[in-house]
Amino acid sequence: MTQRITDLLAAAAERAVPVVRGVPDDLLAAPTPCADFTVGDLANHLYQVVVNFQALAAKEQPDWAKAPDYLHGAWRDAFAAEAGRLIDAWAAPDSEEGVSPGMGLPARTVGQMALLDLTVHAWDLARATRQPYEPAPATVAELADLLATMGPTARKMGVFGEPCSVPADADDFTRLLGDSGRDPAWTSGN
C-alpha cells in the first residue's frame, strides 16, 4: 500500500525539526555538503521549501525567486510550526491528485520533492553541524523511486551533482545520498 505524502512528511519532519533546532548560531557561516550553501543558506533554503511546498499542495504557484531571510528571532520554532503546516497542507484530500500548476508534474511527485528536500537537507545540516541524523525508513524507500525517475532531469537542471560512488554494501540511505550527488562520507572537517 502506498503511504500518503502527509504521513511521510510527518516522519521526515519528526527527524528534521530537531536538527534545525540544533543548528547553533556560530555555525551559520560553516560549509555544508552542498558546496554552494553555508549552514545559514541551507537553513534558509529548507525553510523556503517548507513554506513554498504548502502552496504547491494547494495547487498554487509559489514565488521561488523571492528568497527571504527567515533566520531571525525564534526562527527554529517558526520552522517547526511551518513544518507542521506543510504536513497539514499535504493532508488535504486532493493534495496528491492532479497536476501541479507551473511545474507540470503529478501532485504526488511534487510532494515527494518536498519529502526529498526535508530528508536530504536535514542530513546536510546534521553533517555540517555535527548532529546525529537517521532518516525515516519509509521515506528512504519512497525517495529511491523518485531519484530513479527524476535524478537525470535534476542533474541536467543543476539541482543534483553527478552521483557519488558508494560502497557496494551501502545501506539504502547512503545510496540515496550518493545518487543525489552527495558524498556520504562528507564531514564538517572536509
Whole-prediction pTM: 0.93
- Provide the residue range defining the domain that includes 62: 5-179
Determine, yes or no, domain membership for 50.
yes
What pLDDT does 1 receive?
57
Among candidates 142, 62, 151, 144, which has minimal Cα distance to 103?
A: 62
* Contact by Cβ (8 Å): 112, 180: no
90-114 pLDDT tens trace: 999 999 999 988 788 899 999 999 9
What pLDDT does 181 receive?
87
Determine, yes or no, domain membership for 187.
no
Among candidates 25, 27, 19, 24, which has minimal Cα distance to 47?
A: 19
The residues, any chain, with a CB within 8 Å of residue 112's CB and separated by 6 or more, are 5, 142, 143, 146
Mean pLDDT of 133-140: 93
Determine, yes or no, domain membership for 185.
no
Determine, yes or no, domain membership for 105.
yes
21-76 pLDDT tens trace: 999 999 999 999 988 899 999 999 999 999 999 999 999 988 888 888 999 999 99
Q: Which alpha helices (H) appear in 129-171, and where do they start and end? A: 137-156
Work out the percent of the chain whose per-residue pLDDT is above 70.
98
Quote the mean pLDDT of the chain: 92
What pLDDT does 190 receive?
53
Residue 188 has pLDDT above 90, yes or no: no
Domain count, the chain: 1
Q: CATH number of the domain at 77, please.
A: 1.20.120.450
